Structures are given as C-alpha cells and as structure tokens.
Amino acid sequence: MTRKIKPKGFMPKVTSMMLTTALLGQVLASSVYAGDTLPYTGESAKGVNQPYQHGYTAAQILNWTPESDIYGELLRAHVPLQPRNEAFAATQAYPELNPDTQLFTMSGDYGNAFFDSTPYTNEFSQYLFNYWQYTDYYSYWHGMASAGVPEELYDPSKEWTEKYFEFGILNIPNPAYTNAAHKNGVKSIANIFFSDNDRGPQTYKQMLIQDENGNFPVAEKLAEMAEYYNYDGYFFNQEEVARGVAPEDIPSYKKFMKYLRDQGLYVQWYDSTINTTGKIQYQNEFNGLNSPFVQDSILGRVSDSIFLNYVWNHNMLRDSRDHAISLGLDPLETVFAGVEGGHDKFGRWKQSYDLRNNLDENGQPMNSIATLGADFTHNALDEEMGDGSTNHRAEDEYQWMTFVRDRAWWSGPNQDPTNARRNATANLSDVYASGANWDGIAAYLTERSVIDGSNFATSFNTGHGLQYYLNGAVSNDKEWSNINIQDIPVTWQWWMDSQGSKLSVDFDYGPTYEKGARYNYDAIGAFKGGSSLVVNGTLSADNFLRLYKTDLSVNAQSKLELTYNKPSTDDASSLRVGLIFQDAPENVVYVNVPNSGKRTAGWETVSLDLNAYQGKTIAAFGLSFDPNHTTIENYQMNIGQIRITDGSAIVPDAPTGFHITKALTNTDELVVAWDMKDYSEVKQYNIYENGTFVGGVYDSTFYIKSLQQRSGELSIRAVGADGTESEAAVLPYNLNTAVQDIDVKFQSNGDAIVSWKKPKKSKGNDPIKLTLETEYTNEPFTKTLQIRNSKPSAKLTGLPTNGEHYVLNIAVGDHAPVTYTGKLADLQVTPYPKDKVTIKEGKYTLALPDLEDWYKIYVYENGVAREFGVTYVTQKFPYIIRGRTKLSELTFTPSSSSSSLKLVIEDYAGNQATTILR
C-alpha cells in the first residue's frame, strides 16, 4: 500500500499516487493514478492565517500536547458518533444481501493536499464524499508535511521526486470529515504509515520506545490525541521493505496496538508483514502468517481487523473466511478484502478486483471489504482524460464528471443501486469510465441509516456549492466547500421505480453550474445550502424516487413539510410523498401535494398532516411523480427541503458568549468563538456577517477567511434537530477604530520593531497597549508594553529567539484589540547531541534529532562532507535531508579509524551548530 507519487513519463505539474507491491514478496507494480490536490490560487487560495493540518513524526507525537499543536483548538471535531438503525432487509436495494458485511474506506478527505488540508474553504471543486451510507470506517490517505516544514519547500510545479521535505508517519483525520462521518454513524480512523521511500529515515522503532515500566509513551499520546480530536482509531500500514520488523520487536508492536485497542480505539492492520520473520511479504489472504497481528496465541486480541492486500482470488478469500472462523473470529468483522480504487482505468481495462470472488455459494460476501483511493473518481480525472499535465479536477466546470463517476463507483454503472452489477452497455464514455468490468459497491454492501426518532430535516445539501442560498435567495455569492454542514446523503443514488421511462435525477447547483450534456434541466439552485434535488425529463408513467432509509416514529402531531419549485409549465401531474411503513414494507402509502402540477413562481412550502398514521414507523420514504395517464414533455421538479417533525425538537436558545478571539485586520481574517451546547440540543451553528451567510459548524469556534466589510454586525444562530434556527446572538464590530497596516520587523538581536497606522477616527490621546504571546508552546512567553497614541511604532525587547509562533494584540484605549501573527526571530539551533550517536564495530549510526526545526545534517570527515543517498532517485547529497535521506544511510563507516569527524546541524532558518565526534 505504498504511496507512490508519480511514474515517469507524466508531466511534472500533476502527481500520481500509490504503488502497491504484492504477491509473496514479489514487486507487482499495480499503479493507481491520482493527482495531488494542487494549492488553489486567487480568492480560493488558503488564507494567511487559515488553520490547516500537518503530519506527525514519532518525536512530535511523543511531545504532543493540546496547547503545543499548531491550530489544535481550531482543528477539533465535536460531533459524537451517532448510532445506526437496526438493519431492515425489506427496504434494502438488495433485500437478500447480508447487512453484516462492512466497508473500510481509505481515501483522501477533501483531496490529497500537502499544506492545504483545511476544514472548509471557498472552493467548489474540493472533493466531497457523499456515500457514508455504505461506509463503516473512513481512514485518511494522503501525505502531510510534518509540523514546522516551511511551505516554500514545496514547489507544485517540480517533479514528484523533488519533494525534499518530511512527511509525518501519522495523518490524523480532517475534523470536518470526522464530524460528517460521525453524523452518519461512521468511525473516523487515523493513519500510521511507515515506508522506506515515503517517510525517509523514519522507522517503527522510533514509535515503539518504552519507558522504565515497559509502557509505550507514544501509544499513550496517540490515545490522548484521539480523545482530544474526537476520532476513533488507527490504521497501521507497516511497509518498511528494506528491513521489515525485527523479529524481536514483533511482540512489542503487538502490545503497542493492543494498548490502543484496550483504550476503546479501533485498530486495523495491513497485510504486509510475516509474523515469524517480520519481513514484508503480502499474503493476499488471512492465514497463520498474518493472523497473529489480529489474534495472537499469547496476547490474545491485538487488533480489530486486517486489510488484505489485493491479489486474491475466490479460494484465497474462502480460506480467509475459514481461517477466521477457526480462530473464533467473525470474518465479517475481522477480514477486509482489499480493493484498489481507480486501478485498471475504471473498468476500461480488465478489472483485477472482482468482488464476485468474495461471494459464497449462497451469493453472500464471505469477508468484509476495504477500498483504497475511492476518491480517484475525482483525483484521477485528468490522467483518465489522457493528459496528466492538466488540472481539470480543480476546475468547477468538470465537477459534474466527478459526481457521475462517484455514482458509477458506488451505485454501479447503471447509476442505480438496485441494479449495481457491471454492464458493458452502460454509457460512461463522457466521464472516461466503463461499466464492463466493475460492479458498484452497492452490489455487495447494504445501505445504512442513522435517521431515527421523530424529527428529520434535509435540504439536499451535499456540502459544497457555487453559491449559498437561504430561503431560495442567494445569501453569499462565493463558491464554498464545508462537509461539516453536509446533510445526511440521500440513501440511494438513484433508486427510481417506474413502469415506463425513468426521469433523470441530479443535484442542482444553480445557473452557473456546468452539468454536462447528459442533463438538460433548467438549473435554479438551492432553497437552502448549495444544492437542491432536481427531477426532470419526459414523464409518461408514475416515477417513485426512493430517498431515505429511516426509523421514524409517527404520532398525532407529526407533519411533513415539503418545499418545492416547479419551473416547467402547468400540467396534469401530481407530486406525492410516498411512505413505506415498517409493518407493511411491500406497500407505498401516498400523501398528495395539492396543486403540484402547476408551475410555481419560485419556491413553495406545503405542510402535510401525518396524524392518520400515528403509531406507525416510517422505514423509508420518497417522492412520486405521476403524469396521471398523460405524457408530459420537459417535466421538471426541484425539491428544496423536506422536514418531518412532531414539534418535539425544541428551537434552541440564541447562543451565548459570542465574541471575537482574533481580528486580523491586515488580512481581513477573523476568528470567533462562543459557548457550545450539547449535540442533543444543537446540531450546528450558522455564522453571518451583516446578514450574509459565512459558514456553519458544530463547534465553539470558527475561522472567517475574508470579512466583506470593516464594520457592522456579526451574528450566530443555533440549529435544532428539525433544521430550525434560533434567534441570533448579535456582535457589533468596528475595525475602523483599530490600528491598521501592522508591520513587524526583527532586528539582528531578536528585538521586534512594531509599526502601524493610526485609526482613522483616533482621538489622539488613548493609550495603545501591545501584548505579544507565544502560541503553540508548553512554556508560553508574554510581553506587554503600553505607549502613547501619538507614537506609530514600538520596540519589543527581550523576546525569545527560537522562531516560535507568536500572536500580537494591539488595543487602542478601551477598544477591542486587533491581532497580528507570525514567527519570532530564529537565531539559534541546538547542537546535535552526542548521545544520539551509536558506535558499534566501527560503524556510526545517527538517530534522528528531537528538534522541531532541524533540516540538514552535514557530516565532515577530515573536513570533507560525506554524501548520503535519498529516496526515489540515485542522486546523493553532501548532507542528510530531513525526510528524504534513506534510513540505511544514517549508518556509515569512516574511511579510517583515525579520521576526524564532526556534525553540523542546520535548521530551517539556516542556523548551524557543530558537534565534534572525534
């Protein structure tokens, strides 16, 4: 499962992903092409102070605290994992399919970004996952630069071999994705990855260190991180091919994983390592050589499951099932057959992964399923279009292709989860795919649901849009992506029952959306959010569109509120809500929407009384489009919102404690915070600037990338279980009363000269207070200075000179402060410690420094720099490069026992320090 970033022969602008080695130690190159998410530019570029994620080395995990992790408070997930409903076969797309089969999805979050993995931003073309209903575990697969790596070390235009910076061994989940996963009952899983190429000199040994009591400090920190960031477990990808795992370390590795599992975390192991020798050898089945990493004869249960490598067949999967059963394990909980997303050109070549081989004699899956890189539907678009040098996947006008390709992957080539098997006649050529060799995931996995209780609301919001709509009108004209506020996805894309021709179904993102030639509806946009549901075409027979699998109770107060927009002309059609009750799932009970054949003048909302069905449970519901024995050309109906409620969902109170924590006037950024209520009371908070929607999240803080006005009102509203908003908490602001154009320059001794422009309406006699505090450190430093308003500058002395992040607040009189952030002067680096050098039989081995900002190490023998090999290329360098020098190169033998040796360590700022070895 090694992540490979680009084969030769492709243009350097776009990289490709993942080379999987397989089959009993042989190197079977099975390439998945998927481009990196290149940094967005222009208005969509990451904000100067926008929080983004980073990777973690073993040393960074060991030193982790919530206070020291950069942007930590702004990158937490808070939605609790929601329980899923009991399976109900009668409403499954395939009623005979075993609902116990699970899916482990390993994929990117918004994409495969190295320095731009943010929880939300203003770019429609971000990849948004929309198939939580088939997923049980979602793990994250893309390299992240470790904390402190300067962004300027990454040049997206250079060859993939020229990424000379360090990736962490740990990717933690994007908090927005964790929130979306938890909302849908899916566990969010972090990724631990060791590889000779992709992680350079980093090795599992640095992770497995033990204290004097035999405990694993890194494992303890991993458990703390999972609790703080609110994710659910770890995937272990151990692929150090050159050395493998030393046999004497295998028991410790198992104890490490067992500790995490005993803390209640989900642990999955990749089929890469032989239990007896520790060598890399892919079994492609569950057998005695890899099963001890799940169930050990001495330690007992070590992990929850295994992700099998990809080169399996029917007999191997049958034997895997039987081996699990022989150990007393349920194969549907323990064994996951691996499938590599995007392999074989999305079905246009002979497909290697045929999940029919996982079916028993009764047509039931013998093992569960794991997929790697299902986001290839978006990220590999350019390569599959034939030109890897383009970046169409980041262009709005190509996103419709992603959506169709997604449905082909999940619902099958027929775009119908009830008919999800391969179909060579399905026309997917317009999206550069084929249905000839691929069955949709829905052919093997049943849909799941968290929709229960007596209240439910959806606006068919997929989590991104070209505009944001409120009550059918554009509230914010900027494009956006924010999976935090994605509605629970439609359960089936698309399950349409009809005795005649079927209508087309799509998400309508508005007039500027490029929808492709296969769709011909009049795009009108959303009622609320970024999209509405649109149904159109020739209506010649009743079409029943099944929407949601549910477990909703109906009582005397229950109502269904439907908001719709019919832009097509008056006709004889009827729109009806179709209810499927648990006690008679073979029947659809229809509730008519009055006058629904008439063209509307925009959005209309009707309330349908459900009290005639009190005491019943809605197991599924959808919408019927009935021509009433006529044929209607160019029929179109948009559905903007559906709310089922019995009034028990109390409208939340207006939020309290709403305030600005950072007003970054130089860049018009803002961070706000408030008091967060329990998820049982509030499902989301919506933030507005002067009445314009800014964003939403279930959190106690929010980053605003760009204020539109320098003064006005910010407001926040809490959203309840039925989608209704609270009254607003209003916060007036006026940044014109603050200093402007702040500038900080550091002198050679580390002192800071701070300058600014006076407020436009300054009285001239209010004092100005400067407070500088270090951020993201366990030992904070604070410096405060107060001066007269008449002075436009000040000097801050006695500051640390280690390059730490700082936040500078400047307040005029009793006005709220404004903020400037940056890094202190970096004038020092700690010498490489001698106790990090191991000498054995004349060989010197250098351990990786624990320093946060080291970059290179020069090794001089008799005054001449030794050269060291790096990953991917044969070129050698006269220094060790953090993250790229091979682990094996850290051990070397001097040319003579009498040679002089010295080490010079250099940090990212260019500071150097010397250590004399001999």
Q: Does the pLDDT at position 865 exceed 60?
A: yes
Q: Does the pLDDT at position 13 exceed 80?
A: no
**pLDDT in the model for residue 388:** 85
Residue 252 confidence class, pLDDT cut points 50, 70, 90: very high
- How does pLDDT run across 591-630, given as a tens digit for each residue? 999 999 999 999 999 999 999 999 999 999 999 999 999 9
- How does pLDDT run across 881-912, given as a tens digit for each residue? 999 999 999 999 999 989 999 999 999 999 99
Q: Using alpha carbons only, give the angle 308, 310, 313 rounded to the nearest 5 degrees.
A: 95
- How does pLDDT run across 277-309, given as a tens digit for each residue? 999 999 999 999 999 999 999 999 999 999 999
Q: Does the pLDDT at position 425 exceed 80?
A: yes
- Name the average pLDDT for the chain: 93
220: helix, strand or coil: helix
Q: What is d(CA 633, CA 742) in angstroms, rounded to the nearest whole number?
A: 62
User: Phi then psi for 406, rounded to 5 degrees?
Assistant: -55, -50
Return the percentage of the chain with pLDDT > 90, whole number. 89
Q: Does the pLDDT at position 764 exceed 70?
A: no
Q: Which positions ≥6 away from 873 have C-beta within 8 Å?
A: 161
Other C-beta atoms closer than 10 Å to the C-beta of 509 total: 28
**pLDDT in the model for residue 17:** 32
What amino acid is encoded at 196 in this protein?
D
Q: Which positions ≥6 away from 590 have C-beta within 8 Å?
A: 576, 577, 578, 579, 624
- How does pLDDT run across 666-690, given as a tens digit for each residue? 999 999 999 999 999 999 999 999 9
Q: Does the pLDDT at position 63 exceed 70?
A: yes
**pLDDT in the model for residue 342:** 76
Return the percentage of the chain with pLDDT > 70, whole number. 95
Q: Does the pLDDT at position 352 exceed 80?
A: no
Q: Read off the pTM.
A: 0.95
Q: What is d(CA 110, CA 126) in angstroms, rounded to the nearest whole number?
A: 6
Residue 350 confidence class, pLDDT cut points 50, 70, 90: low
List residues bridging with 280 in a β-sheet.
273
Q: Using alpha carbons only, give the angle 769, 775, 779 rounded to the nearest 5 degrees.
A: 105
Q: What single string gives the DSSP state of each residue in 317-337?
A: HHHHHHHHHHTT--HHHHEEE
Q: Does the pLDDT at position 496 exceed 60?
A: yes
With residue 135 as reference, give the H or E element that holds it. none
Q: Does the pLDDT at position 2 exceed 50?
A: no
CA atoms within 13 A on the CB side of 347: 26
Q: What single string gives the DSSP state of each residue in 162-199?
A: G--SPBPSEEPPPHHHHHHHHHTT-EEEEEEEEETTTT
**pLDDT in the model for residue 832:** 96
**pLDDT in the model for residue 894:** 95
CA distances (Å), 730 to each of 664, 671, 676, 814, in order?
20, 15, 16, 20
Residue 763 confidence class, pLDDT cut points 50, 70, 90: low
Q: How far is CA 761 from the centre of its chain?
A: 45
Q: How far is CA 289 from the centre of its chain?
A: 33
Q: What is d(CA 529, CA 693) in angstroms, rounded to the nearest whole number?
A: 10
Mean pLDDT, residues 862-889: 96
Q: Which of 432, 373, 351 is nearest to 16 (CA)?
A: 373
Cβ proximity of 641 and 534 under 8 Å: no
CA distances (Å), 219 to each of 62, 214, 223, 225, 623, in order?
9, 12, 6, 10, 50
Residue 7 confidence class, pLDDT cut points 50, 70, 90: very low
- How does pLDDT run across 193-218, given as a tens digit for each residue? 999 888 999 999 999 999 999 999 99
Cβ proximity of 532 and 466 under 8 Å: no
Q: What is d(CA 879, CA 868) in angstroms, rounded to the nearest whole number?
A: 6
- How does pLDDT run across 806-863, given as a tens digit for each residue? 999 999 988 899 999 999 999 999 999 999 999 999 999 999 999 989 999 999 999 9
Mean pLDDT, residues 460-465: 98
| Cis, peptide link before residue 349, omega less than 30° from 0 | no
Q: Does the pLDDT at position 92 exceed 50?
A: yes
**pLDDT in the model for residue 198:** 86
Mean pLDDT, residues 184-197: 96
Q: Determine how β-strand 137-140 pairs with β-strand 103-107.
A: parallel
Mean pLDDT, residues 479-502: 97
Q: Does the pLDDT at position 725 exceed 80?
A: yes
Cβ proximity of 808 and 755 under 8 Å: no
